[in-house]
Amino acid sequence: MEVVNQKSALLSNYEVLTLLRELENDHLARTRTALRIKKEEEAAGIARTHAPPEEVLENLRTVEVEAIQHLSAEYQPTSSQSEAGIERLTRSLAAYDLTKAEKLQIVNLAPTEAVELYVIVEELEDRLGGQLDDILTAVRESLTSTPVAERSTEENAVEEIVYQAGEAEDYEGWDANDMVFDDTGEGAGVEGDLDVDDD
């Protein structure tokens, strides 16, 4: 083993979370297919002689699950962040005299209050005294507003359940339905009724 470059690039929390979620979904999909194939073969009465041994990457699974838990916890801003939002934010941050590390931390922590920004940026007053509120506004604009964020985490939860139930195909349709539900702006109380309608 040889380390070519210890620090070739910095990654934001959101990027890591997206990567880990992809891995997780891959893993779930693969275990599901494996299970289905096994069942089908059992039903057909074929004995598996040349099957490769089931490999579970224990360490990867551990760190994956724990990191996803930490990065998507409700105290992290990741739930209300989106790829487009972050892109917009980094564009608008380019206008200010910030270092790369400071920009990364603004993306990671999404400070919406001055106190938080003071911690991240050194000598904030002297360097960007007047632009403070502009930065905070830019951050706020990059985040989807809180109620939507809460709903989107709910959606995620639903997605996962759907995934586990093994109906990956239905998931697209579900999303579309949910969007319609979003637009009507009705309370959560009618969700059950809507589900019945969907069926």
Name the site residues for another protein (rule: CB under 8 A): 1-13, 15-16, 19-20, 23, 52-53, 55, 57, 59-60, 62-64, 66-67, 69-70, 75-76, 101, 105, 108-109, 113-116, 118-120
Alpha carbon distance 65, 119 (integer Å) = 30
**Least distance (Å) between residue 84 CB and another protein:** 21
Q: How far is the CB of 86 from another protein (least distance, A)?
A: 15
Amino acid letter for position 80: S
Q: How far apart are CA 176 and CA 178, in angstroms?
A: 5
Residue 66: CB minimum distance to another protein, A: 4
Which residue, 13 or 178, has its beta carbon nearer to another protein? Answer: 13
Nearest to 177 by CA among 154, 151, 195, 192: 195
Residue 27 vs 151, nearer CB to another protein: 27
Closest to another protein by CB, 11 or 35: 11
In the complex, what is the shortest distance from the CB of residue 60 to another protein, in angstroms, rounded to a whole number?
4
What is the C-alpha separation between 48 and 86, in angstroms, rounded?
48
Q: Which is nearer to another protein, 26 or 42 (CB)?
A: 26
Q: Cβ atoms within 10 A of the Cβ of 79, count? A: 20
Please choose, from the candidates 149, 156, 11, 171, the residue with its C-alpha nearest in 3D space to the C-alpha of residue 85: 149
